[in-house]
Amino acid sequence: MKKLRFHPCGNFRERYEQELTVFETDFGRLWTTLGIVALFALVPFVASPYTLYVINTIGIVAIAAVGLNILIGYTGQISLGHGAFFGVGAYGAAVLATRWDWPLAAAVPAAGLITALVGMVFGLPSSRLKGLYLTIATLAGQFIIEYVLVHWDTVTMGTMGITLPPPSLWGWEIRGDVGFFYLIFPVFILMLWMAVNLMRTKYGRAFVAIRDNDRAAEGMGIAIFPYKLLSFAISSFYAGVAGALFAYYTVSITTEPFNLALSVEYIAMVIIGGMGNMAGAVFGAVFITVLNEILRWGTDMMMNMGIFGSMGLNMAPLREFVFGLAIVIFIIFEPRGLAEVWRIWRSSFRLWPFSY
Amino acid sequence: MKSFRGEPSIFRDRDHRERQAELTVTDVSLSFGGVKALQDVSLQVNTGEILAVIGPNGAGKTSLMNCITGFYRPQRGSIVFNGRDITRLKPHELVKVGIGRTFQNIELFPGMTVLSNMLLARHVHCRYPFLGAVLFLPRVRREEVRHRRVLEEIIDFLELQAIRKKTVASLPYGLMKRVELGRAMALEPRLLVLDEPFAGMTLEEKEDMVRFIRELNEAWGQTMILVEHDMSIVMSISTRVVVLNFGQKLAEGVPEDIINDPEVIRAYLG
């Protein structure tokens, strides 16, 4: 029988395969399995519709954040255009579903591929530009895409927006928050697993090499520019799939949500969650989405309370302020993000209760 | 020197022709603005030998290595490797052709462990396709394990066992140089270009390094070019020596001739 590993106090690995596993310990694997089972068997039936809506939003946003983490955290290329890429995915799926009556199973991956192509186009400047300059170039991408989405009204219906048909998957009519929960989370888990796989093979290693030392990476036989483009493509694919799911979920889409603020929000997720850490992107997505909801709830409540009414109006921009503050606090106190906080917290249990 | 450890069996199934490393540099000239770094330099490396390139500071040794490994592009002249013109190839293409290198100022990935640094060098030997990697198919797993075996042989060879899980930034300088040699070996190059592999080392570290390089050359049959300043090392390990001075080739020959060459003594040995 296979020996189970819970919390070994040393390295007792005997085979090289053991270093290629996703989970370090069987304990982690057990908890993750339990977590997934609980997620699918319990959450949709226990959660209120509003909570379920928040959870679904987290699922969608986390897909995009995992993708952006591949680009920012692993490859070291900062993109300020991910809000727009998310929009390209949403519009891609919407146009395919309304014009050509593509089913969901085809429209979502196709939207991802379209976004991957668009992302590669806006990744082209990375052949010459590095760091801040590349960030500004992707910022241009954000505005170009927004402009195109608004003004190419023969396809995108401009400011009118597009209403999507109710989705169905091989005869299964996806209805309501519970239905979408069972669509979004399997996709999210699948895409997270694929990202983890990618990062433990030569592609992930090449990305990290480019981030850390591109001169040495080239000396190791890694073609820098094609891999940067690949990273842009993968990351945009994730954004596109997330956008497509978002389009189906919100039913009717307009160009408004896909603005620069959304791009910044995604970057905030990656930074707060922990750059170059898969779990970090998910933590970041949870944190930012929940923070968003709390702030919305807070400002709403203030506006409804007589004396604070006018103050509530003034407080609305406070959301951005709190956002910025959260990023700054994390950069100063925990630059490795929530993932590191989680790791420290977890490892404090390792020797519990006899820690020194 | 006797009783070298032989080449590990994991490499031994390689075709004998894969050892072939014939480099011909013909009239290579390189200038940066008005500075002529290299002027009509020609040299030849034959399979199985260690060619040492020596010369005073600013003689163009590193520039020549950068031309051979594709980091600089010479304005004139040609570089031919195993019958293929490689003058215009990029560094990452040269790795596929079979030229691996180390850098004068260590260019490792400081935040990564020794093992992951070396694993990066297996990049060109990873054969699995993109979709296989995404799904982590069994063949990807098998291949990754095989790469790991190769690395373990190199780790054994360079005696890096104790530090394989340490981050490179935490290592002393001499060990970093050794790790960089290991990473270059993991590329399985036909021609290994070592830019000052002994720089900044203590005597013991130099002796270890000499042992590794000689063993690599004699037991594994590795062809090498190396840049070096220490004449006693050059004398003890190189098959032939090329002397550069102000971007021009001053002399070429076996170490015994070079050390008695009046031109070389005047320009370099003093």
Q: CB contact, 8 Å: B139 with chain A?
A: no
The shortest CB-CB distance from A209 to any of B120, B144, B145 is to B120
Contact A194 B123 (CB under 8 A): no
Residue of A75, A201, A207 best to disrupt the B interface, most CBs of B under 10 A: A201
The shortest CB-CB distance from B109 to any of A194, A213, A224 is to A213
Question: What is the span of the domain harbouring residue A264?
Answer: 48-166+174-351
Q: Is B241 helix (H, G, I), strand (E, B) or coil?
A: strand
Q: How many residues does chain A have?
A: 356
Q: What is the pLDDT of residue B12?
A: 59
pTM exceeds 0.90: no
Residue A12 lies in a domain: no
The shortest CB-CB distance from A221 to any of B92, B109, B144 is to B92
Minimal-distance CA residue of chain B relative to A21:
B141
Shortest distance, CA B264 to any CA of chain A (angstroms): 32
Contact A17 B135 (CB under 8 A): no
Q: CB contact, 8 Å: B124 with chain A?
A: yes
Q: What is the pLDDT of residue A310?
A: 64
Residue A18 lies in a domain: no
Q: CB contact, 8 Å: B149 with chain A?
A: yes
Sites in chain A below the pLDDT cut of 50: none
Shortest distance, CA B1 to any CA of chain A (angstroms): 32
C-beta pairs of A287-291 under 8 Å, 24+ apart in sequence: A287/A326, A287/A338, A288/A61, A288/A323, A289/A54, A289/A57, A289/A58, A289/A61, A290/A54, A290/A58, A291/A322, A291/A323, A291/A326
Mean pLDDT of chain A: 85
Q: Per residue in A276-307, pLDDT tens?
A: 888 899 999 999 899 888 888 877 777 776 66
Fold of B22-104+173-269: Rossmann fold (3.40.50)
Sites in chain B below the pLDDT cut of 70: 1-7, 9-17, 270
Best CA proximity match to B250, nearest among B227, B224, B268: B268
Residue A269 lies in a domain: yes
| Helix, strand, coil tally for chain A in percent (to 5) | 75, 0, 25
| Count of structural domains, chain A | 1
Domain ranges of chain B: 22-104+173-269
Residue A191 lies in a domain: yes
Residue A1 lies in a domain: no
Q: Which helix (H) or strand (E) holds A100?
A: none
Q: CB contact, 8 Å: B161 with chain A?
A: no
Q: What is the pLDDT of residue B1?
A: 44
Contact A222 B120 (CB under 8 A): yes
- ipTM score here? 0.86
CATH number at residue A95: 1.10.3470
Residue A126 lies in a domain: yes
Backbone angles phi, psi at A325, to 5 degrees: -60, -45
Q: What is the pLDDT of residue A286?
A: 93
Residue A258 lies in a domain: yes
